[in-house]
């Protein structure tokens, strides 16, 4: 039986390993193309294809403030430069690419987590 | 194994590395490293204090790329601490190698046994 889902067992962002939150359900996307199709008047299909970035949305990480986790991520966000990021799933599959942090890096004091979104021109199974 | 460097020269070089890094290698690990050096599979960059291990079986990635060597530097406290969540010694080596090489554990896990053994042995210089 092939494992279809589950925990993320390792997250590496810009050369640093972060602690993934258990039982997280993260949306990730491969870089490539996406299509938007509409019907034509005569029953055909009119498709517009666009390039899309790859990466992940709102990946929750357990914050270790003693290491300056949030400061490290904010510094990477400040630079705006893509860097090596990877995510290894519990079934051993690893997705990686050079990604830049998107949006805000705002940790929560209550649960000690921060959610990170990162995108890049390439994010793929390696 | 092709012998590219003579044993005496290899042993002298490995001894030099031991003195540089202050690591104590047990006989078995030392022999693996000497043989790896003799075969031209290990090089040391003194400036960056890191070893490069050339893999017998390069790791082929799903995206078509290949990793044919790993650069192994000294792990720091966080990396060592992080590796101690491992269930066993082999897994701990994998986590440490992942940390110091920057390659995800899912990639390190594809190392063949001989390569994993040699890479793990190189970590012994720092312990």
Q: Do B62 and A17 touch (CB under 8 A)?
A: no
A96: Cβ–Cβ under 8 A, 6 or more apart, which residues? Answer: A84, A85, A86, A87, A123, A124, A126, B104
pLDDT confidence tier of residue B22, bands split at 50, 70 and 90: confident
Residue of chain B whose alpha carbon sits nearest to that of A9:
B105
Assign A9 to helix, strand or coil. Answer: strand
Q: Do B107 and A84 touch (CB under 8 A)?
A: no
Assign A90 to helix, strand or coil. Answer: coil
CB A122 within 8 A of CB A97: yes
Residue among B7, B21, B1, B27 nearest B72 (CA): B21
Residue of chain A whose alpha carbon sits nearest to that of B77:
A67
pLDDT confidence tier of residue B25, bands split at 50, 70 and 90: confident
Assign B18 to helix, strand or coil. Answer: helix
What number of H helices and E strands is found in chain B? 6, 3
Q: Do B62 and A125 touch (CB under 8 A)?
A: yes
Least CB-CB distance to A125: which of B63, B82, B98? B63
pLDDT confidence tier of residue A76, bands split at 50, 70 and 90: very high
Interchain contact B66–A (C-beta under 8 A): no
Query: A43-61 burial string, b = 16+ CB within 10 Å, else e?
Result: eeeeeeeeeebbbbeebbb
CB pairs under 8 A between A and B: 42
pLDDT confidence tier of residue B120, bands split at 50, 70 and 90: very high
Q: Tell me what ipTM this predicted complex has.
A: 0.84
Kindly state the average pLDDT of the residues B78-107. 94
Looking at residue B94, its pLDDT comes to 95
């Amino acid at each position: 039986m092939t494992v279809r889902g589950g925990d993320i067992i390792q997250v590496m962002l810009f050369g640093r390993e972060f602690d993934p939150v258990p039982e997280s359900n993260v949306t990730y996307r491969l870089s490539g193309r996406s299509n938007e199709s509409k019907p034509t008047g005569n029953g055909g299909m009119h498709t517009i294809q666009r390039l899309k970035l790859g990466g992940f949305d709102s990946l929750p990480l357990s914050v270790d403030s003693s290491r300056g986790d949030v400061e490290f991520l904010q510094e990477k966000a400040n630079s705006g430069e893509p860097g090596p990021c990877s995510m290894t799933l519990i079934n051993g599959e690893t997705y990686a690419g050079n990604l830049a942090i998107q949006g805000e890096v705002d940790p929560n004091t209550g649960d000690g987590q921060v959610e990170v979104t990162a995108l890049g021109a390439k994010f793929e199974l390696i | 194994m092709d012998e590219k460097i003579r044993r005496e020269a290899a042993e002298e070089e490995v001894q030099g590395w031991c003195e540089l890094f202050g690591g104590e290698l047990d006989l078995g690990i030392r022999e693996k490293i000497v043989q790896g050096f003799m075969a031209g599979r290990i090089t040391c960059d003194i400036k960056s204090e890191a070893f490069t291990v050339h893999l017998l079986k390069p790791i082929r990635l799903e995206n078509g790329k290949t990793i044919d060597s790993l650069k192994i530097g000294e792990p720091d406290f966080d990396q060592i601490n992080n590796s101690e969540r491992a269930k066993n010694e082999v897994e701990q080596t994998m986590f440490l190698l992942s940390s110091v090489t920057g390659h995800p554990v899912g990639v390190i896990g594809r190392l063949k046994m001989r390569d994993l053994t040699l890479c793990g042995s190189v970590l012994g210089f720092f312990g």
